[in-house]
Structure 1
């Protein structure tokens, strides 16, 4: 009986201990769940740089293989530069011709300006002749009028009358000639001014042509420079879409570089948890592909829209079609310092589990 009592007592103690252990574990789990928000709807993210061709040319050489690790600035693709170099040479020649045309236009402007100034001086001189001949004509007309009046009363001889009349005719002829010369000089002056204006316009056209030819040369040099494709960043080059000897068009995709220097975690949390998630909160991260790897980070930012809003076909919640579904909001989590060896093993797209400390 005593033996059975001891066994019963031991069983009771064990049962109480188990209950206490379960209660403590449950309390610990409850406290833990209240301190953290977690989700397995997360993945490693990073910059994926798509490299496209800026020129239309044949591929001459490819200096990489798929999934190769490269450094920023490394020469990866070389296009055939024969036609591109010819384009630069033609553009340089066209620019030089445009500059020569400008010099010729400047020379013609100087010549036209000199001609216009000479014509202006000639016009002024002829105008003075007109004024002088007009004064002589007025004087001859006045003298003839006086002699004519005297002749009527026999106060002047016939010889004096004929002389006054001849002087008046000469003065009229001289005046008409000078007026004709002045009109011709004015027409010549206007013509030289029009020529000078035309040369100014020709110079403006030459200057505009130089700008155009310079732009053509810059574009040709740009194309030649971009015949040598370098890695835009350090990382893994993949998705090669070209082959040597292939004709590539401008804008065509060449390859992709995965920038593994800057990676982060994109986690999708339910909208009901957003009120507890703040920037700067510490985060624990586990990557499915590396179970023994433990990472830490911080909440960097919360997206300005739910994931559904970025879908190719966003849901239409119009009246009659609405079904309420808890939305998920992307949260960006920055990673704390990571050893380069570990960083190389983390790729965009790897699944992860994150736990944010909220209290």
Structure 2
């Protein structure tokens, strides 16, 4: 074999090696691209997050001793379900007293609006006539006593004349009072007095409404569906308005909180369909949809200057899901697969409406 043939063989081997390296690079790039885009193809985007934990502390909002506690930790409750009850006697007594006071105020207002009865007006006129007669008689008696003194008949003393004069003045005052009382009866109730009575009725109604509200708050009900996570107080405990009795974990609606890179933000939109999977139930997926995309980036750098810094930003997204068997626990890690080419659905009025749809 000549030198030329040996050189030619080495050259061919180098070409084959170079071609193999190119093929290997192409294969690695093809394998890397789906992993980098977060799915098996450009039609999916994979996110990682947790089932969002949302809790609320429940309390009565009024003071009193606890009479009954009706649920245990771990119990599932529905909206409006009774959870605990305070002793009711004090609240019921206060409501009854307020109802009686309101009736009294309403009666006084009705009396003022209708004014005096005809019989009362006739009685006022009769009182005036009696006062007029009494004044006439007193004036006549006093006049006689004075005439007797002036005639020097000594039939009456100065003291008797003074007494009859005082009686006449009293009769005049009684007549004046009787006439003024009659005028008030004829005029009816003053507008200012009616306004005062109406204000008193409104105040009593507001007080009754407040006491009825407090009576209603003496029964603690679940504001929404959820799971009793913590039972804090027991029967017999005296609570204040701010004392928590339960911690309720909210389960309706249920969503997974995940974060989207800024470079992928343009790929998602509200109503985009999704699948949620967990390690606890391998092979099972839960359907859902994107219901919220945060308008604010998390951990925004102080100065955004390079593409590397810009692409490090993340945005919170909520993917609502249907979980009829209540298998997804709050705080559970989950994998979200967004179907980028899926049909965008108009967000329903409620999650239950979406879960009922096919």
Question: Is TM more than 0.5 here?
Answer: yes
Query: Structure 2 vs 1, CA of residues 17 and 259 (structure 1 numbering), >3 Å: closer, same or farther?
Result: farther
The C-alpha deviation readout for 1:282-316, integer Å capped at 9, x for no partner, is 3332324444443333322311223459xxxxx9x
Preserved CA contact (<8 Å) 2:50 2:256 = yes
Partner in structure 1 of residue 249 of structure 2: 258
Q: Which of these two proteins has the greater Rg computed from alpha carbons?
A: 1
Q: Secondary structure at the match of 1:201?
A: helix
Aligned mate of 2:271, from 280, 289, 296: 280
Query: Structure 2 vs 1, CA of residues 202 and 195 (structure 1 numbering), >3 Å: closer, same or farther?
Result: farther
How many residues are paired up? 267
RMSD, matched Cα: 4.2
Partner in structure 1 of residue 336 of structure 2: 354
Preserved CA contact (<8 Å) 1:302 1:330 = yes
- Report whether the alignment pairs 1:244 with 2:235: yes
Q: Return the alpha-carbon distance in structure 1 between the equivalents of residues 263 and 92 of structure 2.
A: 62
Aligned mate of 1:39, from 39, 44, 47: 47
The C-alpha deviation readout for 1:179-232, integer Å capped at 9, x for no partner, is xxxxxx9xx79x947994863222221121111111111221221122122223
The C-alpha deviation readout for 1:290-346, integer Å capped at 9, x for no partner, is 44443333322311223459xxxxx9x49xxxxx683321112122x44x22xx221
- Return the offset for 1:243: 2.1
- Return the offset for 1:88: 0.7
Preserved CA contact (<8 Å) 1:109 1:199 = no
Query: Structure 2 vs 1, CA of residues 70 and 281 (structure 1 numbering), >3 Å: closer, same or farther?
Result: closer
Preserved CA contact (<8 Å) 1:108 1:199 = no
Query: Structure 2 vs 1, CA of residues 23 and 94 (structure 1 numbering), >3 Å: closer, same or farther?
Result: same
Q: For 1:79-90, what aligned pairs fall within 5 Å after superposition?
A: 79-90=86-97
- Return the offset for 1:265: 1.3
Preserved CA contact (<8 Å) 1:44 1:352 = yes
Q: Return the alpha-carbon distance in structure 1 between the equivalents of residues 186 and 331 of structure 2.
A: 72
Partner in structure 1 of residue 313 of structure 2: 327
Higher mean Cα deviation, 193-202 or 250-259? 193-202
- Report whether the alignment pairs 1:296 with 2:287: yes
Partner in structure 1 of residue 208 of structure 2: 217
TM-score between both structures, scaled by the size of structure 1: 0.60
Preserved CA contact (<8 Å) 2:59 2:220 = no
Q: For 1:1-359, what aligned pairs fall within 5 Å after superposition?
A: 24=27, 26-31=29-34, 33-34=36-37, 35=42, 36-40=44-48, 42-45=49-52, 48-106=55-113, 108=115, 192=183, 196=187, 199-308=190-299, 317=302, 326-335=312-321, 337-338=322-323, 340-341=324-325, 344-358=326-340
Greater fraction helix: 1
Higher mean Cα deviation, 20-29 or 195-204? 20-29
Unaligned regions of 5+ residues in structure 2, if any? 1-18, 126-175, 304-308, 342-358
Q: Return the alpha-carbon distance in structure 2 between the equivalents of residues 205 and 291 of structure 1.
A: 73
The C-alpha deviation readout for 1:75-99, integer Å capped at 9, x for no partner, is 2101011111111111011112212
Unaligned regions of 5+ residues in structure 1, if any? 1-15, 119-184, 310-314, 319-323
